[in-house]
Amino acid sequence: MAMGIALQLLFTGLGIGSIYALVALGFVLIYRATNVVNFAQGDFAMLGAFSMVVLCIDMQLPYWLGILITLAAMLVFGALFNFAVYYPLRNRGFQPVIISTIGASLLLENGVLAAYGPRPQTLPGFLSFPGFSVGPIFFDSQYLLILGVTVVMVTLQHFIFERTLLGKKMEATSQDKEMASLLGIPVALMIMLTFMYSSALGALAGILVAPILFVSVGMGSSIALKAFAASIIGGFGDVIGAIVGGLALGVVETFGAAYISVPYKDAFAFIVLVLFLLFRPQGLFGEKVAEKA
């Protein structure tokens, strides 16, 4: 029984953790490209989920088409976001850009509230079966799907950054913009591509999580807070760190809730965050903060 409980908690923790990881990936990519934190990252997830509700519930399109349209629209949205929120302020240091992303986040949430109303929406799961039990453990099919997609996205991302010319250009941009532009890399284009990819990635996280957490205006910001903590634990700016940080956070809070205290579930995530900031500010995989400054 005790073993069964621990395994159940592990599975749920990994499932919820991989949602944090997907959103954290978006944080990390934009941070690497622009050195700013995009506080609207969670709202990309919210937009993706709402888009699915509009396309697949209201307009009755099949899921695959809804997902394709949503992701394509979010690529365009990412480019617009780049031009409206980041580009005009790119030479003003990081504070104006961060405030600009917070403003964008408020605008997006209240815009969707005004357009779609306050009622939370449901999106049925993507798989036809709810899940299956092995002994005392229940495997929720949606969590399995999220875990699977996370693995695929991480592999794909790793391949793009390590093996393709485009990825190497983006990597070079994030490491040293001046040097990259001297080498003839179109820096502004690379940054725009990063915003486009991050926005589609955020939307994908939102689409995946919608059947579990429902679709509401505030859904993105609550996930984003944990994802932000996850990316710091992983070492801000590190892709593998964001994944490990997200998964670890999910597992820690699930076990903490079960064995220590349920009402303090959210606190465990932030206790871990504070411990990391105190004792290992560079995170699990990050380089020394001094080198980045």
Nearer CB in complex with another protein: 105/254: 254
Nearer CB in complex with another protein: 159/264: 264
> What count of other Cβ atoms lies within 10 Å of the Cβ of residue 141?
16
Please state the closest distance from residue 94 (CB atom) to another protein, in A: 29
Please state the closest distance from residue 146 (CB atom) to another protein, in A: 12
Answer yes or no whether residue 117 interacts with another protein by CB under 8 A: yes
| Backbone CA torsion sign across 36, 190, 209, 259 | negative
One residue of 175, 264, 277, 287 binding another protein per CB under 8 A: 264
Answer yes or no whether residue 122 interacts with another protein by CB under 8 A: yes
Answer yes or no whether residue 58 interacts with another protein by CB under 8 A: no
Q: How far is CA 235 from CA 70, 240, 242, in A?
A: 30, 9, 7
Nearer CB in complex with another protein: 180/204: 204
Nearer CB in complex with another protein: 173/254: 254
C-alpha atoms less than 13 angstroms from C-alpha of 27 in its C-beta half-sphere? 35
Per-residue x/- mask for another protein, residues 130 to 159, rule CB under 8 A? xx-x----x-x-------------------
**Alpha carbons 90 and 250: distance in angstroms, whole number:** 34
Q: Which stretch binds another protein (CB under 8 A): 21-29, 126-134, 148-156, 180-188?
A: 126-134
Per-residue x/- mask for another protein, residues 75 to 104, rule CB under 8 A? ------------------------------
> What pairing do the DSSP bridges indicate for beta strands 137-140 and 131-134?
antiparallel
Q: Site for another protein (CB under 8 A): how many residues?
A: 32
Q: Are 25 and 153 spatial neighbours (Cβ–Cβ below 8 Å)?
A: yes
Answer yes or no whether residue 113 interacts with another protein by CB under 8 A: yes
Nearer CB in complex with another protein: 155/261: 261
First to last CA, the chain: 50
Nearer CB in complex with another protein: 7/240: 7
Q: Which stretch binds another protein (CB under 8 A): 2-10, 25-33, 38-46, 86-94?
A: 2-10
Write phi, then psi, for 250 (nearest 5 degrees).
-60, -45
Locus of tokens 């941009």: 173
Burial class (CB in 10 A: 0-12, 13-18, 19+), 217: buried
Nearer CB in complex with another protein: 262/293: 262
**Alpha carbons 66 and 115: distance in angstroms, whole number:** 19
Alpha helices in the chain (DSSP H): 2-34, 41-52, 63-81, 94-116, 141-163, 165-175, 177-182, 187-213, 219-234, 239-259, 265-279, 289-292
Binding residues for another protein, per CB under 8 A? Answer: 5, 8-9, 12, 16, 113, 117-120, 122, 130-131, 133, 138, 140, 212-214, 216, 218, 222-223, 253-254, 257-258, 262-266
